[in-house]
Structure 1
Amino acid sequence: MFPPQLNRIFYSYKLFLLCLLCYSGSVYSQGTFSHQKFDSILLKKTESLRIQGDYENLVRLNKDYLNLAQEKNYKEGIILCYINISNISATIGNYKRGLSYLSLAEKELKKVNSSVLKARLFQEHAQLNAVIGLYKSALDLNSKGLFYLKSISDQEKRKFYLYRLYANRADFLYKANNPDSAYIYLQKGKRIDGQGVLLTTLLAKHHLMYSKRRDSAFIYLHKASAKIVNTGKVNVQSAFVDLTYGDYYFALEDYKIALEYYNKALDYYSKTNRLYNIPGVYESIAKTYKMLNEPQKEEEAMKKYTEEKTALENIQNEAINISIDHMLSDKDEESNGFQKRIYLYIGLIVILSLVIFILLYRHNRALRQKKNEFKSEALSLKSRINDSFEELVSLAKKNDSTFLTRFQEIYPEFCPRLLEINPKLGASELTFCAMIKLNFTSKEIAEYTFIQHKSVQQKKHRLRKKLNVPTEQELFIFFDSL
């Protein structure tokens, strides 16, 4: 047996030789560079390494192919590598780098016309927004990806991406508390490929949580397990399957077996550095220990849950700001394009309309229409505000990890205003302020965040000092004024 260092050197050397063989025997055909083989081989190898969770070699592979694409000035290949590297970065929790590579891909994509790459770009943007908790944005971006898929003539590529976009959309809809619509997209994906591990596991989860058909849930879980290829290495798909198995046995009240599956899922997620999945697993483990009447282990698991959740939120916050800036930039571009079209329409109307009476008539009619639209939008806005408030209250009651993220979407100026007063406020303090802003009582805050009523009062006292709030002023009134 060689020392670990030599083993790593030999492994890297073998991978280097393999890449050379790929380039000479696959990407090149009789001395010519083949775009089709470049795409096909890169996608297959990337998918294989992604499932194994071998991110180090996955990055190396895509950077090697990126160098080749740049050498051959193959724009579509460059974009494909940027998108792949973005996906890898987001998967291991480096959301900022993921967004950076997506921006590079988006910049290059303006120079080419490829519906496949546009669909893929929006798919990755959607997934990245979903992992940082921006589910509405994720669904909007997913819709744009589906739109570009309609114009893809290659049926194999169309099915390949359509299946994944349907599965992603179903996952986003579940997280956005819309299970009925999610199930529709699961069925659409099933008609394309009923054997995929992600989609099959999502079907099992649906029957477990919503239809309450546990026999169907078990059948789908068994199918998903059978589809996982055992390569002797960590398979990231196994983590989601084991997590769902844990939920299945928890529902059966077989808590010891549930705990075994939760721990397996935690191990897989930890080894593959899936940071956004880890807090939820610890929370499930804590609930299981509670049912097993093991308070010390429950407390340890809840402590780990809080630590991992806080660490994840700190990573997410910066990515959320970048993502929101990107969305605002896109809206500005759309607005500029819309304004140009409006000016063109007005010019045509002026040229074609010689009679002032007709122009005045159209103008008055447009004003009346805008007035009606304004009234309609006002009513719609009021309805959306009420729905959003109820959603926030529900997330807070569940102590859901996405509460602060969703709160910032709905009240985008609240947290920045607090940080102007005191930049040292942490994520947990911002969450506490948000709950007071939503008019939760001290007793309710204590109940939903698993702390004592006395601790809530102490937190309020410390907040007053940090935010310079006079003792005679109610914190709720102070936050509401922000």
Structure 2
Amino acid sequence: MKKHFLLFILCLFTLPTIAAEGKSPQERTVDSLLAKAMELASKGQLLPYIENSIKAFNISKAANYDEGKAKSGSYIAEGLVTVGLFKEGLKQLDIVESTDYYKNDIFTQSDVRRMRGRAYGGLMLHQQAIREFRLQQGLIKKLTGEKQVKAYQYNYENLSAVFQRMGQLDSMQKYTELQLDNLKVFADKDASMRYEIVYENLGSLYVQKGDLEKAQQCLDKSLELIKKYKIPIALNTYSILGDLEEKRGNLKKAAAFFEESLAKKRAVGSRIGVKNSYRELSDFYRTKKLDNAKADHYEMAFSRLNDSLENENRQVVDQVLSQILNLKDQESETKVSKAATITFAAIVLLLAAISFFVWRSKHNKEILVQKEEALQETETINKELTEQIGENKFNNLIELAKSNNPEFLILFTELYPQFIQALKILDPNLRSTELEFCAMAFLNFSTKNIAEYTYVTIRAVQIRKNRLRKKFDIPSDADFNNWMRELAGKPMMPLRSEDIRLTR
């Protein structure tokens, strides 16, 4: 957790400061709480950081302070993602996106994309994570100065980490080298730790790829920066040097570097780093058959420290969840206190709406009849679909489609594998965006609906329909949605697991 919290702290310091001029006492209190939260983050105090952020959020909400609500909500989401509560973090980001401040501030929009990418990565939804980070790049282009450079740096780091987890080393290398290029606007002394991290990551990458000469060059640069600028945390440089010597067959030198890595981590108090070194040393001594006694010693030390850290992490997560539940309880109490006013207003609005629609119905009878017929057709189709898969899942599917949620295609594929199979038989190379579009047509969404739910123009939807008509050879006089629904009823070969693997 603390390894991720380090990156989290660095990201926080890219956030713009909040000017206090012309603000109310409540707004200044929010700004003070957020400044305190950042100070706590710099000291690695995660729980107090989240507590201050929640306090700031509650005051912002009561004072209708839109900027404070957006920024405190972002802080809370960052904390939730950091402790591994990814779904809660995504829900908090939905709140941030509802603010006017978010809609008008490019930096906040960029940072929300970054946090969504981290959350999807934590949920192992790698393609969705990559999509968020690439959408973030479009927003970063609109930033300027140091803010833009730092945003690119973390964007490239996150993409590199995702590709590393996916085992795509060439893509990982691309984004790690982009980090190095991006840092060139800074002198070594002004970004020494960032340079050290990049050289360390490149060294590890080249070790994995078997290019030991380049790995040595990168790690030498990392060591040079550590010594020249007295960087307090050596991170994993010595451990990677151990991997390098192990690859060369120099087992004694490898053991010495692994032991030195452990000593460095102990010196700076990195308990997670120490735990990882215990695991590394135990495996090394055992697999290389160098010293079974040492292997047993480090295995025991790893088990004790790992159990302790897991227990601490559980406690942190439990406390964070408790705070979030308290926040939701406070929101519920606020809603109850306003219930009478809202009910009265709703009744007035309802009566006004009824009067309005009665009057309008006299003038638009024909249009209403057409709408009712279209609605009846859609309801009939949806009823048939609901009977096939169950009301709950179908309703969930529709909501995912309306919110343009990446999980829409996953659930649709589960519910209608025959339709997905039929499309892939026609074109095995269909992209997931094309599958999503066809799925919406299968559900009988109109052109206007698809445009609204996918945040594009009606013209863009029409162009995509025309392209798919050509690709699938759909007659020009055939209704696009009907053709999609009829496709699922055609005879098909048995479905294989590789046929429904989604790529973007």
When normalised by structure 2's length, the TM-score is 0.50
Identity %: 11
Instruction: Give the Cα–Cα distance (whole angstroms) in 1 for the partners of residues 449 and 126 of structure 2.
Output: 37
Check conservation: 2:33, 2:53, Cα contact below 8 A. no
1:344 aligns with 447
Tell me which structure has the larger Cα radius of gyration: 2
1:285 aligns with 281
Task: Identify if the C-alpha distance between structure 1 residues 26 and 334 changes in structure 2 by more than 3 Å, giving closer, same or farther.
Answer: closer
- Give, in angstroms, the shift of residue 136 of structure 1: 4.2
2:118 aligned residue (127, 132, 142):
127
5 Å-filtered alignment, 1:215-364, equals 215-222=216-223, 225=226, 238-248=234-244, 250-251=246-247, 253=251, 254-264=253-263, 267=266, 271=269, 280-290=276-286, 291=288, 293-302=290-299, 308=306, 330=400, 333-334=403-404, 339=440, 342-344=445-447, 361-363=476-478
Check conservation: 1:170, 1:185, Cα contact below 8 A. yes
Describe the superposition over 1:399-429 as per-residue Cα deviations: whole angstroms up to 9, x where unpaired: xxxxxxxxxxxxxxxxxxxxxxxxxxxxxxx
SS at match of 1:193: helix
Instruction: Give the Cα–Cα distance (whole angstroms) in 1 for the partners of residues 275 and 445 of structure 2.
Output: 49
SS at match of 1:363: coil
The one-letter code of the counterpart of 1:344 is: T
1:110 aligns with 98
Instruction: Give the Cα–Cα distance (whole angstroms) in 1 for the partners of residues 79 and 66 of structure 2.
Output: 20
Alignment partner of 1:168 is 2:158: yes
- Give, in angstroms, the shift of residue 166 of structure 1: 0.7
Instruction: Give the Cα–Cα distance (whole angstroms) in 2 for the partners of residues 380 and 49 of structure 1.
Output: 52
Instruction: Give the Cα–Cα distance (whole angstroms) in 1 for the partners of residues 476 and 113 of structure 2.
Output: 43
Check conservation: 1:283, 1:302, Cα contact below 8 A. yes
Instruction: Give the Cα–Cα distance (whole angstroms) in 2 for the partners of residues 32 and 240 of structure 1.
Output: 47
1:395 aligns with none
5 Å-filtered alignment, 1:398-417, equals none
Check conservation: 1:126, 1:142, Cα contact below 8 A. yes
The one-letter code of the counterpart of 1:139 is: I
Instruction: Give the Cα–Cα distance (whole angstroms) in 2 for the partners of residues 148 and 60 of structure 1.
Output: 30
Task: Identify if the C-alpha distance between structure 1 residues 115 and 26 changes in structure 2 by more than 3 Å, giving closer, same or farther.
Answer: closer
Instruction: Give the Cα–Cα distance (whole angstroms) in 2 for the partners of residues 43 and 58 of structure 1.
Output: 10
Instruction: Give the Cα–Cα distance (whole angstroms) in 2 for the partners of residues 229 and 66 of structure 1.
Output: 39
Task: Identify if the C-alpha distance between structure 1 residues 361 and 266 changes in structure 2 by more than 3 Å, giving closer, same or farther.
Answer: same
Check conservation: 2:176, 2:198, Cα contact below 8 A. yes
Unaligned 5+ runs, structure 2: 1-16, 185-190, 322-392, 409-435, 451-457, 460-473
Task: Identify if the C-alpha distance between structure 1 residues 100 and 177 changes in structure 2 by more than 3 Å, giving closer, same or farther.
Answer: same
Cα RMSD, aligned residues only:
5.4
Instruction: Give the Cα–Cα distance (whole angstroms) in 2 for the partners of residues 183 and 301 of structure 1.
Output: 32
When normalised by structure 1's length, the TM-score is 0.52
2:215 aligns with 214
SS at match of 2:290: coil
SS at match of 2:235: helix
Give the structure, 1 or 2, with the largest relative contact order (CA under 8 Å, sep 6 or more).
Answer: 1
1:473 aligns with none
1:476 aligns with none
- Give, in angstroms, the shift of residue 164 of structure 1: 0.3
- Give, in angstroms, the shift of residue 67 of structure 1: 6.0
Unaligned 5+ runs, structure 1: 1-24, 350-358, 388-482
Describe the superposition over 1:416-461 as per-residue Cα deviations: whole angstroms up to 9, x where unpaired: xxxxxxxxxxxxxxxxxxxxxxxxxxxxxxxxxxxxxxxxxxxxxx
Instruction: Give the Cα–Cα distance (whole angstroms) in 2 for the partners of residues 215 and 45 of structure 1.
Output: 40
